[in-house]
Amino acid sequence: MLYYSLKNYKNLVSFEDAVLTGLSPDGGLYMPKCIPKLDTKFIRKLPFHDIYTLAMLIIKPYIGKYIPEEFIDKIIHDTLNFSFPMKKIHDNIHVLELFHGPTLAFKDVGAKFMAGCLSFFSKKLGKSITVLVATSGDTGGAVAKGFHQKPGIEVIILYPYNGISSVQKKQITSLGDNILALEIHGSFDDCQSMVKKAFLDKEVNKKYTLTSANSINIGRWLPQMFYYFLAYRQMIIKNPIELIFSVPSGNFGNLCAGMMAEKMGLPIKFFIASTNINDTIPRFLKSTKYHPLPVKKTISNAMDISDPSNFSRIWHLYHKNIFQLRKKLYSYKFTDEETLASIKMIWSEYQYMLDPHGAIGYLGLRQYLQKVNNVSEPSVFLETAHPIKFLDHMPFSLQKKILFPKELEVFLNTKNKNQSIPLSNDFNVFKNWLLERK
């Protein structure tokens, strides 16, 4: 499969180059040249395939000859090594739990898959690859865990010294080995700008083969299609049904992966993009004006993004046509008060504990179902993180009721001391550190 840049359709690169570079040199995101169609027989048989066979059939055409099938199979087994259960909340509303991975957020799948691909390319090129990431929290943990002890790869994570939660910090700094954590005396924006400068710096690039592991990389983005197939597979299918999905959205990568699954032939009736008050997309769908405002802090902070990178992919998938997009996508925003109220309501009525991100997914679905006045439509919202990850933001009355998952114990009990290197937010200090080490 070849990939073109959204800034210039003539700039075609291989799967390998798209994963290694992340973003096209012209600044555009990569898109696959074509979207393979799965036949209806495949869709009907979907519940009878095991998840590894299924994942292989979905992802193989996007990789093509760049990674041998037996190695793709290994990456898939490595990536899908935890469960993705779906549970009924009420009526025909279901929750798909994506938080059973090692860092308790859905980003684990994309990070693991990308690490597997990079590790293969590093061996093939005979070069060590350095992954540079700036994180405001969740990405750092998922990337650290996903890339830990992968041969041929080292990871350097920059995080703001007082910008992340203690669980997130532990996840980034406790692994050691090929994972290096830099505590930057500055904000997340400082971290991001230092990383961007490093990518453009000649001397740094002479010493390192750099790549980024942010969510626009196709190696992280495409495997998220699996979730939608795994949800469909868990519905009992006598007659082919069409599902409705509500996706709590920040950078819109997860939603856009769902739209790819639909284009491949998965029967999806509608998508709902559920956001917090950083509501550029709900406003865009109403007014057709794309007008990002300054980011506002919320309790669903993994979605505090006002200019979502992956929206350019969605816009492209729907031929930059607002009428086509509106036929498939609804979008609603919710405040922190509404989010907290729904967490309490779902706990008291149905004894299910949502996190603030999943709660927004639920609210989006409910708003849509009320609008069409039909709660019996089969529908799914994605629960993207475990509530313990956002403990401080959970309703105070419920905090004691949240069960401590065993995945986290492994982290918190780890004997490793926190290993991080404090650095100022001056790019030259970072650059010298990069050039002088080893």
Ligand X SMILES: *Cc1c(COP(=O)(O)O)cnc(C)c1O
Which positions touch ligand X (CB under 6 A)? 105, 107, 138, 215, 248-254, 302-303, 357, 384-385
Whole-number Å distance between alpha carbons of 106 and 103: 8
Which residues have a Cβ under 8 Å from the Cβ of 337 and sit 6 or more positions away?
Answer: none
Minimum Å gap between C-beta 226 and ligand X is: 14
On whether the CB atoms of residues 407 and 101 are closer than 8 A, the answer is: yes
User: Of 138 and 190, which has the nearer Cβ to ligand X?
Assistant: 138
Q: Among this protein's residues, is 107 annotated catalytic?
A: yes
What 3-state DSSP class applies to 182? strand
What 3-state DSSP class applies to 174? coil
What 3-state DSSP class applies to 294? coil
Q: DSSP labels for 373-394?
A: T-TTS-EEEEE-B-GGGGGGGS
User: Of 67 and 302, which has the nearer Cβ to ligand X?
Assistant: 302
Choice among 88, 107, 238, 406 that is catalytic = 107
Output the CA–CA distances (angstroms, integers) from residue 252 to 86, 273, 370, in the order listed: 22, 8, 24
CA atoms within 13 A on the CB side of 46: 25
User: Of 295 and 429, which has the nearer Cβ to ligand X?
Assistant: 295
User: Of 116 and 356, which has the nearer Cβ to ligand X?
Assistant: 356
On whether the CB atoms of residues 299 and 390 are closer than 8 A, the answer is: yes
User: Of 229 and 430, which has the nearer Cβ to ligand X?
Assistant: 229
The separation between the first and the last C-alpha atoms of the chain, rounded to the nearest angstrom, is 37
Minimum Å gap between C-beta 224 and ligand X is: 7
Minimum Å gap between C-beta 225 and ligand X is: 12
**Which amino acids are annotated catalytic?**
107
